[in-house]
Amino acid sequence: MQVGLIGAGMMGSGLAANLLKHGHGVTVIAHKNRAPVEELVAQGASEARDLAQMAREAQVIFLCVSTAKVVEETVNRLRPHLRPGQILVDCGTTEPETTRRLARELARMGGAYADCPLTGGPEQAAKAELGVLCGADEKTYATILPLLKCFAATIRHLGPPGAGHTAKLISNFLVTGMVSLVTEVFTAARKAELDWRDLYEVMLKGSGNSGVLRKMVATALDGDFDGYRFSIANAAKDIGYYVGLADRLGCAGKLSEAVAETFVKAVEAGHGRLNVSRLLDPALD
């Protein structure tokens, strides 16, 4: 199958590389950073001059972009070039309401839309070990499932469009909450003059052991605060979307507001482009 990819960043490039390994044709388009595009072309991908060319060539187009606003802008630029039967797959973390609206609009054009946000990071993307939380109608899910299997180890179809992004926001609230908690815990330990390594090694044997704890702290023990490769700005965006979702569901609480404040303050301080694990860096105090 010929697949298009918009957003060949840390996650998107891993998706494309694994699609190529499984014999699918991949068309990519350059954005800010040409390096991953050139690497994918060297592996057999083709590069589109513009979105019109991508739409002509690809049956399924994956989007790995940053925000709901960027998703909507990209779809609007693609829309004039789309034809009936094409499928757009949003692999980012987007507002479910935006997803549902775009799905309705594309359905009226004879196309289809699926939300397939990912769990895992760039390392899992490269190793085809990602998780996928899919929202799509049954026919669309059946069509894209062979593609999803190229880069994901765990795939769950959670319902119609919007269900995947709803699940991802809930999942990311757990992650961002843990990031905020680990940050506060180890900041308190530093100020109490406790040895981080001793504390961390004991925590690994208890109920506090988690992927977030290991990603954030393991490398920080040796002065590397970039162990968790997820930007503060993206974390702030995700928790912001979750707060809106929780409010609509009637389950918003003080905890989500406190977690959101952690990341909003860091963005306002000019740290948005840093990885979340940099919140542990004493230099940011």
Q: Other CB atoms closer than 10 Å to residue 202's CB: what's the count?
A: 10
Q: Please indicate, yes or no, whether residues 113 and 79 belong to a single structural domain of this protein.
A: yes
The verdict on 10 and 112 lying in the same domain is yes
**Which among 161, 183, 216 is the end of a domain?**
161
**Is the predicted pLDDT of residue 152 greater than 90, yes or no?**
yes
Q: What is the pLDDT of residue 160?
A: 98
Helices 163-191, 232-249: inter-axial angle, 10-degree rounding: 120
| Alpha-helix runs per DSSP H in the chain | 12-21, 35-42, 51-57, 68-78, 96-108, 122-126, 138-148, 163-191, 196-203, 211-217, 232-249, 254-268
Residues 125 and 19 in one domain: yes
State mean pLDDT over 131-144.
98
Average pLDDT score over residue span 206-212: 96
Any residues with CB less than 8 A from the CB of 220 and at least 6 apart, and which? 186, 196, 227, 277, 280, 281
Predicted local confidence at residue 32, as pLDDT:
72
CATH number at residue 207: 1.10.1040.10
Same domain, 141 and 181: no
* pLDDT at 34 (0 to 100): 85
Q: Domain range spanning residue 225? A: 166-284
Round to the nearest angstrom and report the end-to-end CA distance of the chain.
50
Q: Are 103 and 159 in contact (CB under 8 A)?
A: no
Query: pLDDT by residue (tens digit) across 34-93?
Result: 899 999 999 999 999 999 999 999 999 999 998 999 999 999 999 999 999 999 999 999
Based on the fold, state whether residues 226 and 132 are members of the same structural domain. Answer: no
pLDDT at 31 over 80: no
The answer to whether the CB of 29 falls within 8 A of the CB of 85 is: no
Q: Average pLDDT of 258-277?
A: 97
User: Is 183 found in the same domain as 70?
Assistant: no
Residue 21 sits in a domain whose CATH number is: 3.40.50.720
Within this chain, do residues 21 and 157 fall inside the same structural domain, yes or no?
A: yes
